[in-house]
Structure 1
Amino acid sequence: MTLAEITLLLFLVVDPFGNLPFVIALLKTLPTARYLKSVGREVLLAFVILAGFALGGDAVLRQLHIDAASLSIAGGIILFLISLGMIFRSATRLFDDDYADDPLLVPIAVPSIAGPSAITAVIILRSREQVPLQGVLLALAIVFVVTLAVFAAGRPISRRLGQRGVTALEKFMGLLLNLVAVNMILDGVRDFASTL
């Protein structure tokens, strides 16, 4: 895979535009300076978590005796289901608890940004696709710089696009992720079939 393909895949699964309404709603009571500090912190935490999976995810898979075909099929199914959620649900994903106005780690960094789909994608890139660590880390860095920029400009973007515009953008990103997921499943099936 090229750096552009890796970056696109990670951008789709991190889905900054899809997470934007959630982040804005969750941090709506914060003044602008604190909002910017919070989104910066959460994006950095998510990057560290995904970089950790890029470093050690493959070793965990070896310990569990999980092969590349299984991971590709399972990861593709997870991404497929998440893409369906992006396409067919409402854009706002609010938690019903009384979590603090400025949450740490959960629910923004994990599971919104560094969620199961992003973790799965990073592990698959390192194990199945054999993407070098520096390639994954560079792609993650690019994606998280863009994610930080989207979140930092979140309030003005949301006002300009409106709720319908943000929702439409998330649905389009979901469609692209759906296509990537189907391709991952087919690759896994081909890999499995070649071992028979």
Structure 2
Amino acid sequence: MGSVGIDFILQAAVGLLVITAPFDPVKLLFFNQTVTARGMGRTGGALRLTLYVTVILAIAALVGKEALTAMGINLDAFGAVGGLVIALMGFEMLYSGGASQAQGERQREEGPESGDGLLIPLAIPMIAGPGAITTMITFSSQNTSWAGLGAMATAIAAVAIVTFGFYRYMGSLLARMKPTTVAIMARLGGLILATLGFQMLLAGIGNFYG
């Protein structure tokens, strides 16, 4: 494809925002624990976290497709399987009312580790985890033009802006959200994610069979 429409850009941005879920209040609590334990300022911690997430997603968008091609994996087939994985993650969020295992739910429950807790496990896998990486590769494989690359850059920029803005400015407000509210938001995000994943699955199947 030589060009992309606004719908593709919006799907990429919304899908990536939902699957990374940087605005998750529980992840914010993890962030607060980490910056406090490491003696970091909130601004510096938010900038570092945003940089980590941006680099991880950018590498997935730029290198992931080429890596699949080098391994002889059909991009349309990967897009279909990636859509299925994303849809399953959405269903897991929909029924559990929380993050999926691919979004780092287990690491989040275990709490901060030694070392730079902003990189591991907060940036990866809790925010830019396997699900987000799969999403980036899947969307980039659906459009290999410069316009498609621009759409990926727009999606990554949206995640970066939301990540920094939330952890720097909105944290104290949203951290006080009730667990039931968090669960409702997770289920709504899961429904959106499942729908996008199913659309990507159908698109990959359609492209594969021409």
TM-score by length of 1: 0.85
Q: 1:70 maps to what in 2? A: 77
What residue is the counterpart of 2:130 in the other structure?
Answer: 116
Matches of residues 155-166 of structure 1 in structure 2 within 5 Å?
155-159=172-176, 161-166=177-182
1:164 deviates by 1.6
Contact 2:30 2:112 in 1 (8 A): no
Distance 1:96 1:16 in 2: 18
Q: C-alpha deviations, 1:16-43, integer Å up to 9, x for none?
A: 23x4313314533745963443233122
Q: Give distance in 2, aligned partners of 1:56 and 1:158.
A: 35
CA distance in 1, matches of 2:88, 2:140: 22
* Mapping for residues 168-183 of structure 1, pairs under 5 Å: 168-183=184-199
Q: Which residue of 1 aligns with 2:102?
A: none
Where does residue 152 of structure 2 map in the other structure?
136
| Corresponding residue of 1:145 | 161
The one-letter code sitting in structure 2 at the alignment partner of 1:182 is F
Q: Distance in 2 between matches of 1:24 and 1:170?
A: 16
Matched, 1:14 2:20: yes
Q: Aligned in 2, Cα 1:125/1:173: closer, same or farther, shift over 3 Å?
A: same
Answer yes or no: is 1:47 the counterpart of 2:54. yes
Q: Which moved more, 1:110-119 or 1:127-136?
A: 127-136
Letter matched to residue 122 of structure 2: I
Partner of 2:11: 5
Unmatched 5+ residue regions in structure 2? 100-104
Identify unmatched segments of 5+ residues in structure 1: none
* Cα separation, 2, equivalents of 1:57 and 1:179: 23
* Alignment partners' CA distance in 2, 1:101 and 1:59: 32
1:59 to 56, 62, 66: 66
Output the CA distance in 1 between the equivalents of 2:153 and 2:70.
23
After superposition, the C-alpha distances for 1:28-68 in whole angstroms (9 at most, x for unaligned) are 37459634432331221011111112221121011011112
The residue aligned with 1:84 is 91
Q: Deviation string for 1:127-161 (max 9, x for gaps)?
A: 223353233112211222012222331231121x3
Give the RMSD, CA atoms, in angstroms. Answer: 2.4
Q: Secondary structure at the match of 1:106?
A: helix
- 2:164 counterpart SS class: helix
Answer whether contact 2:33 2:112 (CA < 8 A) is retained: no
Does 1:154 find its partner at 2:177?
no
- Counterpart secondary structure, 2:132: helix
Q: Which residue of structure 2 lines up, in the alignment, with residue 106 of structure 1?
A: 120
TM-score (norm 2): 0.80
Following TM superposition, by how much is the alpha carbon of 1:7 offset from its aligned partner in structure 2, in angstroms?
1.4
